[in-house]
Amino acid sequence: MNNQRLVILLLLVAYIFSPSVFNWIVAPDGAWYRPYIAWVMIIVIAFIMQLRRHKTRDVD
């Protein structure tokens, strides 16, 4: 149940901030690596969530 709340919270935050983040990523005067920063953040979040899920599964 706790993971479901976390996922819902993350989706809500992503929905609220997505226009600002998207404008920041595609800004023509921005650095070339901005989209890669967003992807790295997504990958790190997914890795942490899977790591926590794997650890709780070992305890059970």
Q: Which residue has the higher pLDDT, 13 or 59?
A: 13
Question: Would you state the torsion angle of the CA atoms of residues 14, 30, 47, 52, taken in this order, to the nearest 10 degrees?
Answer: -50
Contact 24, 30 (CB under 8 A): yes
- pLDDT value for 53: 76
What's the pLDDT band for 58 if we cut at 50, 70, 90? Answer: low
Phi, psi of 33 (to 5 degrees): -95, 5
When mean pLDDT is compared across 8-12, 14-18, 50-54, the lowest value belongs to: 50-54
Contact 25, 38 (CB under 8 A): yes
Predicted confidence (pLDDT) at residue 16 exceeds the cutoff of 90: yes
